[in-house]
Structure 1
Amino acid sequence: MHYVITGQSFLAFAAFMGIGLLILLLAITLVALITPHKEITLIRQGNKAAGIGMAGALIGLALPINSVISNSVSLVDAAIWAAIAAVMQVLAFGISRAIITRRGPDQIDAGNESAGWFSAGVAIAVGLVNSAAMVP
């Protein structure tokens, strides 16, 4: 097959990429705002648990956004479903944080890597399920 990138196809790529990255940025910002600690500061300080948890959150958010963009019928369709996917991921993130921190001091602040891995695992698992559910 012979594929040619046209101006129209490049603009479509840019629009879908832009909406996907915008929703990803908004969602990860919301995740950072709902946590009781400053994850970016903790990551800069070398807190591995915070880095693991945030990486998992990013992957978990990106998985359904990928699926939505791959299967959407329009840019508006992609934006709506990506926003829904982001809300589901933020809810899952909140639930995993409640489970982790239920036992006392914040486990991520304390650098408990197992708490970071658990948080990342929940985000990725929910992202995979979310991604599969978004396919028509």
Structure 2
Amino acid sequence: MEIAIWQYLLYLKYFGVALIMLVVFAAVYTRITPIRELAAIKEGNVACALSFSGALIGFCITLISSMMQSVGMLSFVIWGAAAAVIQILVYFVATRLIPDADEQLRNNNVAVGILFLGLSVSIGILNAASLS
């Protein structure tokens, strides 16, 4: 099997843009949510690690689908941006389901972290399926 150079360059282009979108999503997510996830994770907060990981995984699941369904780089970026908005909204909707969820995550309530992980991944899967 032979891969043309243009195919390899296209792969690198999509992979690079996806990584940039993931980094931007993570930065925006950690700025918008009231918990400083990375600092909490460094201190050993498993609940925050689970919640943040779920958001990243849910976002990447949708990125995969948008990459496969897009007709070009612009549509990929647009759908990726929409996926980011949805994943951030999931966090805020989830905090309405659990009273004082932010405090529960800060206090390392692993059950809340797992719930947030599950919600983020579930919505990411539904969001990805909606793109197909």
Q: Which TM-score applies when normalising by structure 2?
A: 0.93
Counterpart in 2 of 1:64? 62
Q: Which residue of 2 aligns with 1:38?
A: 36
Aligned partner letter, 2:41: I
SS in 2 for 1:73: coil
Higher helix content, 1 or 2: 2
2:61–2:128 Cα contact (<8 Å) kept: yes
**Alpha-carbon contact 1:31-1:93 (below 8 Å) kept:** no
Distance 1:23 1:104, change over 3 A: closer
Q: Which amino acid aligns with 2:4?
A: T
Amino-acid identity (%): 28
- Which of 80, 98, 110 is the matching residue for 2:78? 80
TM-score where L is the length of structure 1: 0.90
How is 1:1-136 mapped onto 2 (pairs within 5 angstroms)?
3-100=1-98, 102-103=99-100, 106-135=103-132
What is the CA distance between 1:98 and its match in structure 2?
A: 3.4
Structure 1 residue runs of 4+, over 3 Å off? none
Q: Distance in 1 between matches of 2:5 and 2:102?
A: 54
Q: Tell me how large the CA RMSD over aligned residues is.
A: 1.4
* Structure 2 portions without partners, runs of 5+: none
What is the SS of the residue equivalent to 1:108? helix
Say whether the 8 Å CA contact 1:49–1:116 is kept in structure 2: yes
